[in-house]
């Protein structure tokens, strides 16, 4: 009788072991997860050991995240970090660069023609031919 009652206990224990083994494989945590865990640790409501057990991470990983978090904050406050550009900003910059690449040759031609002393009429004719 005692064996039959212990079977569900063994089964649940085995399932828990399998879950723990699956959890032990290398995971990649998002930046939001890392920040959330570090902030919970900094609040100090629970011990770091309890927090790490609950999250399923090693304490050394928590302390590495915490150190990175604080160092990044120091660098940002000191102004040492460069902000990543958004896709809209990149598009705008590419458009601006393309426009400048069109303007610079025109201005170089204009300067060269003016230095040679060509008339305005000849200059406009040359400019029209180049654009065409």
Say whether pLDDT at 1 is over 60: no
pLDDT in tens, 12-70: 888 887 777 766 667 788 999 999 999 999 999 999 999 999 999 999 999 999 999 99
pLDDT confidence bin for 123, thresholds 50/70/90 = low
Whether the Cβ atoms of residue 109 and residue 130 lie closer than 8 Å to each other: yes
Using a cut of 0.85, tell me whether the model's pTM lies above it: no
């Amino acid at each position: 009788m005692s064996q039959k009652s212990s079977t569900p206990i063994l089964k649940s224990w085995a399932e828990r072991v399998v879950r723990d083994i699956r959890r032990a494989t290398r995971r990649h945590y998002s930046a939001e997860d890392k920040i959330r865990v570090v902030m919970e640790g900094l609040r100090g409501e629970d011990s770091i050991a309890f927090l790490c057990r609950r999250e399923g991470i090693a304490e050394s990983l928590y302390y590495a995240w915490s150190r990175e978090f604080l160092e990044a904050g120091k660098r940002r406050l000191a102004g040492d970090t460069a902000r990543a550009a958004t896709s809209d900003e990149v598009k705008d910059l590419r458009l601006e660069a393309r426009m400048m690449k069109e303007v610079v040759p025109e201005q170089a031609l204009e300067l060269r023609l003016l230095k040679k002393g060509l008339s305005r009429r000849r200059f406009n004719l040359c400019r029209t031919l180049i654009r065409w």
